[in-house]
């Protein structure tokens, strides 16, 4: 069974009933694929998710994986899709070469490292993948 961009429109009770029914109806080894927007990605959440008034419930990838697994599906994996383009991610601050005959100020080097480290952390948490699919097998 495949549901693309559907589960975020369902109330929690209906979603759990859908997963439970899929488990009982699918043949052994058959996949359940539930693909949805990734609310853990700020770009997906703010640019897509909240613009659609029919979206009911944002589903974190770990939550949907748990729901599929809790209803009996084995080997549940999450596959991420549609990465945020590099141009839309936070960029590193370059450390330009020092002037001839001079060295970098250590405080400046530390500041650039800190700013770039924070950009990496934010990119890893907020600007990741727009969509994901939870895939389980019966």
CA pseudo-torsion sign 111, 117, 118, 123: positive
Residue 65: per-residue pLDDT: 97
Instruction: Please report whether residue 116 resides in a domain.
Output: no
Question: How many domains does the structure of the chain reveal?
Answer: 1
Q: Which domain holds residue 44?
A: 2-87+126-137
Q: Which residues contact 75 (CB under 8 A, 6 or more apart)?
A: 136, 137
- The pLDDT tens digits along the chain (138 residues) read 999 999 999 999 999 999 999 999 999 999 999 999 999 999 999 988 999 999 998 999 999 999 999 999 988 999 999 999 999 999 999 988 878 778 877 888 899 999 999 999 999 988 999 999 999 998
Instruction: Please report whether residue 97 resides in a domain.
Output: no
Measured distance CA(66)–CA(58) in Å, rounded: 14
Instruction: Please report whether residue 120 resides in a domain.
Output: no
Which residues on neighbouring strands pair with residue 78, listed in sequence order?
134
Instruction: Please report whether residue 25 resides in a domain.
Output: yes
Instruction: Please report whether residue 100 resides in a domain.
Output: no
Instruction: Please report whether residue 111 resides in a domain.
Output: no
Instruction: Please report whether residue 26 resides in a domain.
Output: yes
Instruction: Please report whether residue 59 resides in a domain.
Output: yes
Measured distance CA(91)–CA(85) in Å, rounded: 12
CATH number of the domain where residue 21 is located: 3.40.50.150
């Amino acid at each position: 069974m495949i549901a693309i961009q559907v589960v975020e429109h369902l109330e929690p009770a209906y979603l759990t009933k859908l997963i439970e029914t899929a488990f009982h109806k699918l043949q052994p080894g058959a996949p359940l694929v539930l693909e949805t927007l990734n609310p853990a990605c700020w770009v997906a959440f703010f640019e897509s998710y909240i613009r659609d008034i029919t979206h009911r419930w944002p589903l974190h990838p770990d939550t949907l994986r748990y729901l599929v697994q809790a209803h009996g599906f084995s080997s549940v994996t999450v596959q991420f899709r549609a990465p945020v383009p590099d141009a839309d991610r936070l960029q590193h601050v370059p450390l330009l070469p020092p002037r001839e005959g001079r060295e970098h100020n250590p405080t400046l080097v530390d500041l650039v490292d800190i700013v770039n480290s924070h950009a990496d952390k934010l990119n890893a948490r907020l600007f990741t993948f727009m969509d994901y699919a939870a895939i389980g097998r019966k």
